Amino acid sequence: MIAIASDHAGYELKEKLKKHLEEKGFEYRDFGTYSAESCDYPVFAKKACSAVISGECEKAVLVCGTGIGVSMAANKIKGIRAAVCSDTYSAKYTRLHNNANALCMGARVIGEGLAAEITDIFLTTPFEGGKHQRRIDMFE
């Protein structure tokens, strides 16, 4: 199960990503926001990431205007390793080397097609472990 959330700036892209997840066969839970009305991104990032920490969801996909705000909010939650990705290479390596469990993207930075590609890579790339786990342990 994938947790997905956005603020008002990311709402439209989040809705498109939900359709993409359905087409790819991924189950998800939408933690809001549920409209383009102005709202506070930390509220929704926290809801989605809390579902990851509890084990209800495996990973989170978070969207705001730039991806930066939701990543900062998400990374305040113990156990969350959130990464802002605007390209496929970063999405791949944040999983392989950092075992990121929250993907953050900016709806005002990337388009729908690239966001879908980044999401697919993030959700399907495994963690390599080994020396990378040792490094993660150092900051956790």
Q: Look up the domain containing 88 and give its range.
A: 2-139
Beta bridge partners of 82: 102
Which of 20, 39, 97, 132 does the annotation list as catalytic?
97
- Neighbouring CB atoms inside 10 A of 123's CB total 17
Which residues, 6 or more positions from 71, have their beta carbon under 8 angstroms from its beta carbon?
Answer: 62, 82, 83, 84, 102, 104
Spatial contact of 56 and 29, defined as CB atoms under 8 Å apart: yes
In the residue annotation, 97 being an active-site residue is answered as yes
Is 104 noted as a catalytic residue in this protein?
no
Q: Return per-residue pLDDT of the chain as tens, 140 residues.
A: 999 999 999 999 999 999 999 999 999 999 999 999 999 999 999 999 999 999 999 999 999 999 999 999 999 999 999 999 999 999 999 999 999 999 999 999 999 999 999 999 999 999 999 999 999 998 87
Q: What is the DSSP string of 90-126?
A: HHHHHHHTT---EEEEETTTS-HHHHHHHHHHHHHPP
Query: Exactly one of 64, 85, 104, 132 is catalytic; which is it?
Result: 64
- Model pTM greater than 0.75? yes
Total structural domains in the chain? 1
The residue behind tokens 């409209």 is 35
Among 50, 2, 51, CA closest to 24: 2
